[in-house]
Amino acid sequence: MKGRQIVLTADRSLLSNYRDNMLFGFVACMPVEKISKQLYYRVFCPAVPADKVSGEALFAPLGLRRIESSLMDGFGRENVIVAHCDHLEKAIGEETKVVGINVMDPLGIGPITTSISGKPYTPYTRYTFEELMSRIMRLKSKYKFKVVVGGAGAWQLYRREDRERLGIDHIVFGEADNHCVEMFHDIMDGNAKEFMSVLTNRIGEVPYIRNPTCNSTIEAMRGCGRGCDFCDPNRRMKRDFPVERLKEEASINLKHHTCIWLLSDEIMLYGCDNKDMYPNRDAIVTLYKELKSLGNVDYIGAVHVTLSSVAADPECIAKIREINNFNASRWNGIQPGIETGSVEMFKKHMPLKAKPFSPEEWPEVVEEGIRILNENYIFAACTLVMGLPGEQDDDVKDTIELVKRLDGSAFVVVPLLWTDYFKPENSLTTDKFTKLHWKLYYLCWKISTKAIYNWIWYATAHFPPLVRQIAGLVGKFGAAYQLRYVRDKAKSIIGEDPDFDNI
């Protein structure tokens, strides 16, 4: 078995289109002990197709496609493959020198996963990664290649004991787009550092994708410039990808999909060049119209948005709705961050997130932003951050009151536990919760469970009928179980029901 010189791959939780509903990707944060593997893999997370001879994955995460393109230029198409994790034996062999792995949440200690699947449970993100690494280590012992890991979750593997246990030789932090050829040469020559940190400054240096991505994702922009101190991407310089380039990359996906998903850290800042961060409506509308003009485009979705941008330009959101023909029977979703209801915490950790409004206006901006999204048939999959450094009881109370006022909106709210990326012992865990933390945590689950009950039938409308029935039942019963679990655990710890009115 010769194999390819360079093999790229990702764990099973990343090699799925999640039945063309990106929000179902959150199911990967659920514990293996509570959702059976049959349900997870067959109902929510069916694998992307693979070539039965070569093992090549038909779809792959966008970041992996960038690396693939760059390495093809540097080493030749015939020497590089993005292999499906279930078919590695078909791609790896005697001539394999490097296996590169893209990771999102390899140890299951990301903020969302920790919130949903805390100890002693094992989230699917960790389970699928460790399953992948077991297979790679068996092949590594036979063929003696090097293993390099990069991606948004690479920070989780900084501890030597984890790398040695998992057979990882090198870790890459940052944006490796136009640096990976040099890095892979160094790895092959034995000259590479254990940790490599890189950054791509100019959009023109980012390689074009050549093959389709999971969920038809393309990258509209990087960074946002809002500078929230708990969010690494948001501290990076904002860079926009040109419309013509986005059309070219979208066309690759449209051979296999009928939608386009725009990845960004804040889609409403696309084309924005003013210090007040007021949305550039013309640039955003032009982007959506140009992509829609490609034909065979059912809709154009976006992953992230900031509620201050939404509140600043409701007409822009209305234009996006019109272009996509969203209506009462045709909703879309997007992920904004509520983060906190405390003005003090907001001013300390994320003051620019409110622009063009003031930090003092943030709670009202959140309410207005979600109202505008809902009026335009966009469901809000929100997050907030519990345990921000310096947080006091009054700050938690403010967040509780804000979330209560939002109850009844078309939204879910996922409480993220503040994570110290390099000193996990400083991170917030449920063991450190105060009574008010438990109240907020339970409130978020209560609202989200209600939303799942109301929306899962709509969200699974495109599923095959039997799979839709199963997904609906699993979603409802799973959410109800989690809510009871949180309530019972809170009761046992704080000695009272967290679902009470007086705080």
pLDDT tens, residue by residue, 409-419: 999 999 999 88
* pLDDT at residue number 461: 79
**Which pair of structure tokens corresponds to residue 308?**
């201050």
By the 10 Å C-beta count (0-12 exposed, 13-18 middle, 19+ buried), 465 is classed as exposed
Q: What sign does the CA torsion over 343, 439, 339, 330 have?
A: negative
pLDDT surpasses 80 at 119: no
| Average confidence (pLDDT) over 363-384 | 97
Q: How far is CA 242 from CA 66, 175, 198, 225, 460, in A?
A: 16, 19, 23, 18, 34
Max mean pLDDT range (217-221, 468-472, 498-502): 217-221
- How does residue 235 score in pLDDT terms, banded at 50, 70 and 90? low
Identify the pLDDT of residue 502: 58
Residue 216 predicted with pLDDT over 90 = yes
Model confidence at 423, in pLDDT bands (50, 70, 90)? Answer: confident
Phi, psi of 112 (to 5 degrees): -70, -45
Average pLDDT of the segment spanning 495-500: 88
Q: What percent of the chain has pLDDT over 90?
A: 74
pLDDT at residue 503 above 60?
no
Structure tokens at 260: 């386009």
Paired tokens of 74: 């540097």
pLDDT digits (tens, 9 = 90+) for 433-462: 999 999 999 999 999 999 988 888 778 877
Burial degree of 170 (CB within 10 A; 0-12, 13-18, 19+): buried
Report which of 340, 411, 421, 382 is spatially closest to residue 159, judged by C-alpha positions.
421
Helix (H) or strand (E) holding 436: helix 435-459
- What single letter denotes the amino acid at residue 327? N
The whole-number pLDDT of residue 472 equals 84
pLDDT confidence of 422, banded at 50, 70, 90? low
φ, ψ of residue 442 to 5 degrees: the values are -65, -40
Q: Which two tokens stand for residue 57?
A: 């994955």
pLDDT bracket for residue 195 (50, 70, 90): very high
**What pLDDT, on a 0 to 100 scale, did the predictor assign at position 7?**
98
| CB 451, CB 374: distance < 8 Å | no
Residue 127 has pLDDT above 60, yes or no: yes
Closest CA to 75 of 83, 67, 64: 67
Rounded to 5 degrees, what angle do the CA atoms 64, 21, 296 make? 85
Show the tokens assigned to 374. 């809902």
Alpha helices in 92-159 (DSSP H): 111-116, 124-143
Q: Which residues contact 327 (CB under 8 A, 6 or more apart)?
A: 377
Q: Within 10 A of 261 (CB to CB), how many other CB atoms are there? A: 22
CATH, range 6-198:
3.40.50.280
Q: What does the pLDDT read at residue 233? A: 61
How, if at all, do strands 304-305 and 332-339 pair?
parallel
- Considering the chain, what is the average pLDDT of its residues? 92
Spatial distance between the Cα atoms of 262 and 260, rounded to a whole number of angstroms: 7
Q: Residue 249 in contact with residue 209, Cβ under 8 Å?
A: yes
Q: Is 315 left (phi over 0), alpha (psi -120 to 50) or beta?
A: alpha
Taking phi over 0 as left and psi of -120 to 50 as alpha, with beta for the rest, 427 belongs to beta
- Helix or strand holding residue 339 (H, E): strand 332-339
CA 500 to chain centre: 33
* Best CA proximity match to 388, nearest among 328, 442, 340: 340
- What integer pLDDT is reported at residue 117 of this predicted model? 79
CATH number of 216-428: 3.20.20.70
Residue 378: strand, helix, or coil? strand
296: tokens are 């065979």
458/468 Cα distance (integer angstroms): 10
pLDDT score for 353: 94
Write out pLDDT tens, residues 129-179: 999 999 999 999 999 999 999 999 999 999 999 999 999 999 999 889 889
| Structure tokens, 139 | 């092949």
